[in-house]
Amino acid sequence: MTAAVLVVVAVVAGALSGALEAAASALVRVTRASLADEADEARDRGAAGSRRLSRLRTLQKLADDEHRSLAAVRSARTVLEVGASAAFVIALGLWIDSWWVVLLVAVLVGLALAFVLSRVSPEQLGRSNPVGTLLVVARPLAVAVALARPLTPVRDSEATAQDRTDAEAREVADRMSESEEFDEGERAIIRSVIELGQTLTREIMVPRTDMVTTRASTPLSKVLTLFERSGFSRVPVTGTSTDDLIGVAFFKDVVRAVQSDPSDGDQPVGEFVRSAMFVPESKPADDLLREMQAASSHIALVVDEYGGVAGLVTIEDALEELVGELTDEHDRPEPEVEDLGGGVLRVPARASVGELGELFDLHLDDDDVDTVGGLLAKALGKVPLPGASAEVEGLHLEAERVEGRRKTLATLRVHRTDDGAEATSYDTKEHQR
């Protein structure tokens, strides 16, 4: 008699555990909007829908605190599964004297259950019909959550639920990636949306060393020239150092001030700046995008853990994580080495220092930089703008053109500093091979 009772207990506990598994899966899938729609329909039925409405209200409360509800369900399932296993093994021990036979039967029963659950998984049932599943198990679910909730730490439940939600989202993205209903571009955007929350601001920002800034004391006329040369429409304004950020100068504000009164061209730009938005470098990119949208801000300054300026980020930087690189309408194809005559070459900024040396039969090597653009930036001590030049190892380097949304240096004009008898014609096609 005792063994039979234990078997019944094991079966009931296992069934409840399966029901809670289906409920947990459904709770992840269900939306508050769908529950609200169901509640409205039940309310319209009057007395006939009162029972359904009561269950829906219970489910809405559980969904409002989804993190702790899911954690409580998992705690309850653990207790039920351990209890079911213990009851079944004890029952077998009362019926069978040999311990190895008890172990063998327990293993066989476990394998049989695993086979059945692989065919009809409670989790799959919850996913396929989340609202219907939750309505069936609403009462047991509420009781289990109420009993197990005191055992569930708030932080742990939120973290675990978030991990589970992220895993579910990735699984959905994987299934959509395999579907022929979406082209490759749409599938890439879906994956990017899910991964955006795992990308930190520091990964998409323009680093401090690449920032173009101006001092607060700089006259508006010179700032206007800086805008024209750099191609940017917003430039951070600093005080005594880059960490002393006063605000951001907007191209349209400077143009408006100079056009309305040409004498304002001598006014310091510090009097025309707008307040800057500051964000930590550890902020997730999806939160950054939402905050910048809410603040109607296109640019934000990024600060590190010590309060120093780490870089800047624009709303386009975050959008590029979703849709890929945004190109400027004036962008050109990847430049190649071009002979301009008179010993002058147009060289891509991304060309290596070694390649530049080969073009002029020189041995060039620099441990600090790898590219020609980096070589010029090192010589200048700042980000090179069009027209900026320097002499390095017997070569005259001049920044020629910037491109892209970040206005990065694209090409340079390079010639020997002696610019005389040694000026020759270069076979750029042979070099590119």
35-39, 125-129, 307-311: which range is least confident on average?
125-129
For 418, the token pair is 């002696």
**Quick check: 30 pLDDT over 50?**
yes
Beta bridge partners, 309, equal 303
pLDDT of residue 326: 59
Confidence of residue 261 (pLDDT cuts 50, 70, 90): confident
d(C-alpha 401, C-alpha 38), whole Å: 61
Domain that holds residue 62: 2-165
d(C-alpha 123, C-alpha 106), whole Å: 24
Confidence of residue 23 (pLDDT cuts 50, 70, 90): confident
**Quick check: 202 pLDDT over 70?**
yes
Number of structural domains, the chain? 3
80 neighbors 169 (Cβ within 8 angstroms)? no
**Quick check: 177 pLDDT over 70?**
no
pLDDT of residue 149: 66
> What CATH number is associated with residue 258?
3.10.580.10
pLDDT of residue 242: 79
Confidence of residue 87 (pLDDT cuts 50, 70, 90): confident
**Quick check: 55 pLDDT over 60?**
yes
59 and 144 part of one domain: yes
What's the pTM value of the predicted model, to 2 decimals? Answer: 0.48
Residue 346, in any domain of the structure: yes
DSSP string, 346-408: EEETTSBHHHHHHHTT-----SS--BHHHHHHHHHTS---TT-EEEETTEEEEEEEEETTTTE
* pLDDT higher at 248 or 92: 248
CA distances from 379 to 113, 226, 256, 406, 414 (A): 72, 19, 35, 21, 14
> What CATH number is associated with residue 406?
3.30.465.10
* Counts for the chain of helices (H) and strands (E), in that order: 18, 12
Residue 118, in any domain of the structure: yes
21 and 140 part of one domain: yes
**Quick check: 34 pLDDT over 60?**
yes
d(C-alpha 175, C-alpha 181), whole Å: 11
Residue 328, in any domain of the structure: no
Residue 170, in any domain of the structure: no
224 and 112 part of one domain: no
Distance between first and last Cα of the chain: 89
Confidence of residue 250 (pLDDT cuts 50, 70, 90): very high
How is the chain split among helix, strand and coil, in percent rounded to 5? 60, 15, 25
pLDDT of residue 173: 59
Three-state DSSP class for 290? helix
Residue 81, in any domain of the structure: yes
Domain final residue pick, 291, 323, 355? 323
pLDDT of residue 83: 77
263 and 118 part of one domain: no
- Helix H segments across 45-153? 50-64, 66-95, 99-119, 122-128, 130-136, 138-148
pLDDT of residue 171: 59
Residue 176, in any domain of the structure: no
Short-list 381, 392, 380, 382, CA closest to 416:
392
Q: Render pLDDT for 291-339 as a digit per residue (tens, 0 to 9).
A: 888 888 888 999 988 888 888 998 888 887 776 665 555 555 556 788 8
367 and 295 part of one domain: no
Confidence of residue 428 (pLDDT cuts 50, 70, 90): very low
* pLDDT higher at 76 or 288: 288
**Quick check: 200 pLDDT over 80?**
yes
**Quick check: 161 pLDDT over 70?**
no
Confidence of residue 267 (pLDDT cuts 50, 70, 90): confident
Residue 186, in any domain of the structure: no
22 and 159 part of one domain: yes
242 neighbors 211 (Cβ within 8 angstroms)? yes
28 and 156 part of one domain: yes
Question: How many residues are present in the chain?
Answer: 433
Mean pLDDT of 341-364: 86
Q: Render pLDDT for 92-113 as a digit per residue (tens, 0 to 9).
A: 676 776 666 667 666 676 666 6
Domain final residue pick, 284, 299, 323? 323
% pLDDT > 70, the chain: 74
145 and 243 part of one domain: no
368 Cβ neighbours under 8 A, 6+ residues apart: 374, 378
Neighbour tally for 315: CB within 10 Å: 17
Mean pLDDT score of the chain, rounded to an integer? 76
**Quick check: 221 pLDDT over 80?**
yes
% pLDDT > 90, the chain: 3
**Quick check: 232 pLDDT over 80?**
yes
**Quick check: 209 pLDDT over 70?**
yes
Residue 26, in any domain of the structure: yes
Strands 234-238 and 214-215: parallel
20 and 145 part of one domain: yes
Tokens 């973290």 locate to 159
216 and 139 part of one domain: no
8 and 133 part of one domain: yes
Domain final residue pick, 115, 145, 165? 165
183-197, 385-399, 417-431: which range is least confident on average?
417-431
298 and 344 part of one domain: no
